[in-house]
Amino acid sequence: MWSYEYIIEKGRYLAQLLRHDKDAFEQGKIDEHGWRKVEELAGLGFSRELLDKIVTTNSMQRYEYSPDGKMIRACQGHSINVDVELTEATPPDVLYHGTATRFLESIFAKGLIAGIRLYVHLTPDEAKAINVGSRHGTPFVIKIDCRKMVADGCKFYLSNNGVWLTKQVLPKYFITINQLMEKIILTHLHAIENEYGVNFNRSFGFYPLRYGYGKCIGVVTLLSSVLLPLLVVLR
């Protein structure tokens, strides 16, 4: 009886009412655990049937009812300061964050920050991360070394709808950046090898990238500033 578009539109409005309605939170209409009365939402155009339809058809299972069915809340994604009783859990070794290329400069400098939301959102599903990123522009997926984060004491929470949440992700945990840096360094190394007919791997008997991109930058700087001019002269 409702069109797909109508349900999507109402779902978006519901997300706003449950995650970001600061006035309602301050007036006590949303409790400390994020619950809002179904009865009150009826006054805002959400009949019980409509709520049922939104809850059951929502592709990401964003909403849940209280056990007695009298209240409803969003599982994650809030900007209002509620405690939705998230479960602390150990994440998979790798999770993805979908963003847009226009944010990368700031993200590479500061890391991933929660912004207006309470947490940074991560997913084990790379395709989903691309979708999330494309909402903001040209998508870019950052791969995160959660194993290292856990080893360093960072906490992760798993929302009831399967989204992984953490307070922030520092750039040192971005596997993507390491990979990008490796690619850039390798490209330069190969270009230098081709240009000067040398093979660093053979010549020096080790593979510099094993030692991390920080040291590699040092190696490349050293090669380009000292050794290469020397090679050119000796040749």
Q: What is the contact surface with ligand HQG in residues (CB under 6 A)?
A: 60, 62, 77, 99-100, 103, 106-107, 110, 112-113, 115-117, 121, 132, 136, 163
Q: What is the CA radius of gyration of the chain?
A: 25
Q: Structure tokens of 137?
A: 């522009």
Task: Give the span between the Cα atoms of 235 and 230, in whole angstroms.
Answer: 8
Task: Give the span between the Cα atoms of 90 and 142, in whole angstroms.
Answer: 19
Strand 87-88 vs strand 120-122: parallel, antiparallel, or unpaired? unpaired
Taking the complex as a whole, the smallest distance from the CB of residue 211 to ligand HQG amounts, in Å, to: 28
Taking the complex as a whole, the smallest distance from the CB of residue 230 to ligand HQG amounts, in Å, to: 42
Which residue in this structure is represented by tokens 């309602």?
24
Taking the complex as a whole, the smallest distance from the CB of residue 201 to ligand HQG amounts, in Å, to: 36
122, burial (CB in 10 Å: exposed 0-12, middle 13-18, buried 19+): buried
Instruction: Between 62 and 73, name the residue whose CB sits nearer to ligand HQG.
Output: 62
Instruction: Between 75 and 220, name the residue whose CB sits nearer to ligand HQG.
Output: 75
Instruction: Between 106 and 187, name the residue whose CB sits nearer to ligand HQG.
Output: 106
Taking the complex as a whole, the smallest distance from the CB of residue 202 to ligand HQG amounts, in Å, to: 41
Instruction: Between 121 and 216, name the residue whose CB sits nearer to ligand HQG.
Output: 121
Q: Structure tokens of 135?
A: 């909402």
CB-nearest residue to ligand HQG:
99
Task: Give the span between the Cα atoms of 170 and 73, in whole angstroms.
Answer: 30
Instruction: Between 116 and 234, name the residue whose CB sits nearer to ligand HQG.
Output: 116
Taking the complex as a whole, the smallest distance from the CB of residue 132 to ligand HQG amounts, in Å, to: 4
Taking the complex as a whole, the smallest distance from the CB of residue 107 to ligand HQG amounts, in Å, to: 4
Instruction: Between 106 and 179, name the residue whose CB sits nearer to ligand HQG.
Output: 106
Residue/partner pairs of 12-15 with CB below 8 Å, 24 or more apart: 14/41, 14/46, 14/51, 14/54, 14/63, 15/62, 15/74, 15/77
